[in-house]
Amino acid sequence: MSAQLERLIQALQLQPGVGPRAATRIAYYLLDQRREEAKQLGQVLCEAMDKIKLCQCCRNYSDEERCEICKNPKRFESGQLCVVESPSDVAAIEQSNHYFGRYFVLHGHLSPIDGVGAAELGLQQLDQIFATGTIKELILATNPTIEGDATATFIANLAAKYKIPEVTKIASGVPLGGAVDTIDPKTLISSLMNRRPLSASGSVV
């Protein structure tokens, strides 16, 4: 096998859910039928990796220092801040058209065994947002996993010292062990609308 072809197959396997067989099929398909499109894809990928950065305000992906959501003053009017684990969660919630506040993206969850702590999740920046006194409702939309719940509890405890009027967690319509960005829009809307108060101890009121 060509060394370049082998490198291509190995690179394709870096994608989620793509094993050796699938990677080989994709590689041959691109070489046989989609060479120009593959070149365009490669160019777009390189540009995206170079130009997409984290929004300075919310840590969502953005082409500029501040994302489109954070540049919109109307997003600040409600005083709502929704904390999510990943940028794909933001996309899912935005598609629901039932939330119009701000976001904060953790890019993960607390996982000491993997070396992921408060610093890696940007919680110092989140603490600074709490300190501004502009948050009227903190919505915790972490995934319903052990790690996600632990992260939500940690953040609720962090928010407690600022006496934020409401601290809520999205309802249990999201299946246990699931991810916010994988559930259907109807369930997500229900989970957002039926969110429950969350105490600093992590118990849902």
**pLDDT classification of 180: cutoffs 50, 70, 90:** low
Q: Is residue 39 part of a domain?
A: yes
Same domain, 82 and 161: yes
Q: Is residue 202 part of a domain?
A: no
State the CATH number of the domain containing residue 46. Answer: 1.10.8.420
Q: Does residue 168 carry a pLDDT above 60?
A: yes
**pLDDT classification of 196: cutoffs 50, 70, 90:** confident
Q: Is residue 56 part of a domain?
A: no
- The domain total for the chain is 2
Domain residues for the domain of 34 are 3-51
In the predicted model, what is the mean pLDDT of residues 13-31?
93
| pLDDT of 145 | 87
85-92 contacts at long range (C-beta below 8 A, 24 or more positions apart): 85/109, 85/142, 85/143, 85/148, 85/151, 85/179, 85/180, 86/180, 86/181, 87/60, 87/61, 88/181, 89/141, 89/179, 89/180, 89/181, 90/60, 91/181, 92/180, 92/181, 92/183, 92/185, 92/188
Same domain, 32 and 102: no
State the CATH number of the domain containing residue 124. Answer: 3.40.1360.10
Same domain, 182 and 131: yes
84-88, 124-128, 165-169, 192-196: segment of lowest average pLDDT: 192-196
Same domain, 101 and 10: no
Q: Does residue 167 carry a pLDDT above 80?
A: yes
Q: Is residue 61 part of a domain?
A: no
